[in-house]
Amino acid sequence: MSDLVTTIGLEIHCELATSTKMFCGCAVGFGGEPNTRVCQVCLGHPGTLPVPNEQAVAYAIKIAVALGCGIAPSSIFHRKNYFYPDMPKNYQISQYDIPLGLKGVLEVTTDAGTRAVGITRVHLEEDTGKSLHMGSGGRIHDATYSLEDFNRAGTPLVEIVTEPDMTSPEEGRAFAQELRSILEYLEVSDVRLEEGSMRFDANISVAPPGERGAKVEVKNLNSLKSLHRALAYEEVRQREVLGGGGAIDQSTRHWDERSGVTRPLRTKEHAFDYRYFPEPDLVPIKPSPEWLEAITSGIPELPPARRRRFIADYGLTPYDANVLVASRAAADYFEDAAAAAAGIEPKQVANWLANDLLGRLSERGEDLETTRVTPQALGALVGLVAGGSISGAQGKVVLDEMMVSGRPPAEIVEEKGLKQVSGRSELKAVVAGVLAANSDVVDRIRGGDAKPQGFLVGQIMKATKGQANPAVVQELLKEMLQG
């Protein structure tokens, strides 16, 4: 059944990083004591009126513009009516037929190539509260009752819906990753997936080419990893059902992270009759050309353009460019460090940043914002290594020290006496001494056994306290063993 085609569309919810909620002045935040960031408005008390947060509207417009959407000259809010205890008003203020942004596109690249994914719409709404299901398993269906915390209720939420343009779980994940990067670049969301600030729902269908498969919606995807795993699971499941002569029902399934499977949800009749109607308490949003211009001019260079520039201007590989550009913090850091290491191949700065610094930071639970190593200091360190003042191995020792003390690399090199010795005449004496002291080893090597050569290198490094330039040592050893 390899001639089957997979079709994937995504729906992404993203909390906006405003100070206050969408329709009231309560603080937006994560965690804290339950029901302490709530007021009469977000608790849905009778007689209260919502007033939209201007910054949230601006952020949503910024996202829509960045995704290439057209901005509605006049868009309105609707009430989406349904009963659920995490929503105290019994309706969610959302947008329906006239969303803020329509018809955009985002290109994503995987090993299979680049694909343009259509953006159907971008709209603004409010988040719900959080339910804690109390009972034996902590799950909704074996709960005996639930506890409601409305601190999150009313947090500004942007919903981004794509066209069903993706054809593999990898493209689905790549899209989510790219979107996450863009939201980080736009500084409109803290994009902390582990805190639920970005959440995914996916539609996936499998069918022979040219045919329309039954759409299966998968819910409860709260990380890039679970998005990918759920899509991969569902793709295989649908292929197996079709391969066995079965049929896929249009349905909704829930991703179970623990067991790594999707399970069907029983949908009762009359579901999704939300009776949308225009929110009578809110007036239309009609962005002026000046406001749109101000918002648009605040959009920085976005990942796709920055990636191209990193490859063209710094000579980075597409892989390195991808790694660095994925996070705005890493890309900014790289550019500052590369500027500080003027004259040094930027590729080396990229290696030190991506392989050495970022690796060490994640081991220690730090990041580029908290580290004591400034981009200028990293650039200086790469300069010392590239210029031959210290070896790569010494550089790593210096980096460890920089992470602890935040001191400039040159100072650490000086203090630890870490100068690399590259002078041939100086090293020649050391090599000669080591050879003389290990004549048995020398004989074995000259007899054709190359193995103990590493031992000799080790002895030379030891004799120079690790300061010998390894390349020069290798060169000298080769010459002198022949001689």
Partner 1 sequence: MSISREEVVHVARLARLALTEEEIALYGEQLGRILGHADRVTSLDTEGVPPTAQAIALANVFRPDVLNEPAPCLSQREALANGPAVEAGHFRVPRILEDGDPSGEEVAEE
Using CB under 8 A, list all residues that contact partner 1. Answer: 18-20, 24-27, 33-40, 43, 51-57, 74, 76, 81-85, 131-133, 135, 139-141, 143-150, 252, 254, 263-273, 275, 278, 280, 282-288
For 194, counting Cβ atoms within 10 Å of its Cβ (0-12 exposed, 13-18 middle, 19+ buried), the class is exposed
Euclidean distance between the first and the last CA atom of the chain, given in angstroms as a whole number: 67
Q: Which of 217, 207, 215 is nearest to 250 (CA)?
A: 215
> What is the nearest approach in angstroms of partner 1 to the Cβ of residue 414?
48
> What is the nearest approach in angstroms of partner 1 to the Cβ of residue 66?
19
Which residue, 245 or 280, is less far from partner 1 as judged by CB? 280
Q: What are phi and psi of 449, to 5 degrees?
A: -95, 105
Cα 199 to the chain's mean position, in Å?
13
Quote the DSSP letter at residue 281: T
Which residue, 204 or 344, is less far from partner 1 as judged by CB? 204
> What is the nearest approach in angstroms of partner 1 to the Cβ of residue 62?
14
413, two tokens: 């090199």
Give the bridge partners for 160, in sequence order.
12, 122
Which residue, 8 or 17, is less far from partner 1 as judged by CB? 17
Which residue, 40 or 114, is less far from partner 1 as judged by CB? 40
> What is the nearest approach in angstroms of partner 1 to the Cβ of residue 65?
17
Q: Which residues contact 79 (CB under 8 A, 6 or more apart)?
A: 91, 92, 93, 94, 276, 277, 278, 279
> What is the nearest approach in angstroms of partner 1 to the Cβ of residue 188?
12
Taking residue 357's Cβ as centre, other Cβ atoms within 10 Å add up to 24
Which residue, 214 or 397, is less far from partner 1 as judged by CB? 214
CB 466 within 8 A of CB 391: yes
Which residue, 249 or 411, is less far from partner 1 as judged by CB? 249
Q: Which of 208, 196, 283 is nearest to 239 (CA)?
A: 208
> What is the nearest approach in angstroms of partner 1 to the Cβ of residue 402?
37
Cα–Cα distances (Å) from 279 to 15, 41, 62, 80, 198, in that order, read 21, 15, 23, 9, 26
Which residue, 101 or 379, is less far from partner 1 as judged by CB? 101
Rounded to an integer, what distance in angstroms lies between the CA atom of residue 320 and that of residue 109? Answer: 14
Which residue, 276 or 455, is less far from partner 1 as judged by CB? 276
> What is the nearest approach in angstroms of partner 1 to the Cβ of residue 93?
13
Which residue, 57 or 193, is less far from partner 1 as judged by CB? 57
> What is the nearest approach in angstroms of partner 1 to the Cβ of residue 284?
5
CB 176 within 8 A of CB 10: yes
Which residue, 198 or 285, is less far from partner 1 as judged by CB? 285
CB 102 within 8 A of CB 91: no
Q: Which residues contact 309 (CB under 8 A, 6 or more apart)?
A: 301
> What is the nearest approach in angstroms of partner 1 to the Cβ of residue 239?
22
Angle, CA 324 vertex, CA 188 and CA 363 arms, to 5°: 95
Q: What are phi and psi of 231, to 5 degrees?
A: -65, -40
Alpha-helix residue ranges (DSSP H) falling in 303-437: 303-314, 318-325, 328-340, 346-351, 358-364, 375-386, 392-405, 409-416, 424-437
> What is the nearest approach in angstroms of partner 1 to the Cβ of residue 329?
23
